[in-house]
């Protein structure tokens, strides 16, 4: 088993757990997901190994960075990785629908498969699955919660159909 490095950082959308291998960033988990995670024995707390990731995330949240430049090492199937690569082509401040992504891989009927791959994205924010919305312009599911998805879109000055009941829990 190879060693993985982690750190937990603060962000405007709550705490984020960063997990990386020697090859690159493997995973980002939202605060809401941390209660379901046990720090594995082959994970080593190491802020310095994750400093570049933290710096780029800080710059993104401060609206100073629009394009991440990090080496990624996500686990996934060939199809999932294909979708995640397409997500990285969505520019800062722009949105696409699941249908747009399915069309971009010449599989117009693969909307649900695209949605599933999107939902399994292990590196949210960096692989910008928050920029994918429903064909009707409304926000759809997000691992970090719809409220955080809305915050990320607002950070990028992206307009979307706002139905506050849709993502406000209280």
Q: Is 122 helix (H, G, I), strand (E, B) or coil?
A: coil
User: Which among 129, 132, 153, 155 is annotated as catalytic?
Assistant: 129
- Which phi and psi angles does 51 have, rounded to 5°? -65, -40
DSSP bridge partners of 132: 96
Q: Which residues contact 51 (CB under 8 A, 6 or more apart)?
A: none
Instruction: Mark whether 129 is an active-site residue.
Output: yes
Reference 100, options 137, 153, 141; nearest CA is 137
- Active site (catalytic) residues: 129
């Amino acid at each position: 088993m190879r060693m993985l490095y982690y750190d937990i950082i603060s962000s405007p959308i709550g705490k984020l757990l960063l997990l990386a291998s020697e090859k690159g960033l493997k995973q980002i988990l939202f605060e809401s997901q941390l209660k379901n995670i046990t720090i594995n024995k082959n994970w080593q707390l190491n802020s310095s190994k994750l400093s570049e990731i933290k710096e780029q995330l800080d710059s993104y949240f401060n609206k100073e960075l629009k394009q991440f430049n990090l080496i990624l090492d996500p686990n996934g199937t060939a199809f999932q990785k294909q979708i995640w690569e397409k997500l990285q082509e969505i520019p800062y401040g722009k949105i696409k629908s699941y249908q747009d992504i399915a069309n971009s891989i010449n599989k117009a009927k693969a909307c649900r498969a695209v949605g599933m791959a999107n939902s399994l994205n292990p590196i949210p924010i960096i692989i910008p699955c928050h920029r994918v919305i429903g064909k009707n312009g409304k926000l759809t599911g997000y691992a970090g919660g719809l409220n955080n998805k809305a915050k990320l879109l607002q950070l990028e000055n992206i307009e979307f159909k706002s139905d506050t009941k849709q993502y406000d829990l209280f």
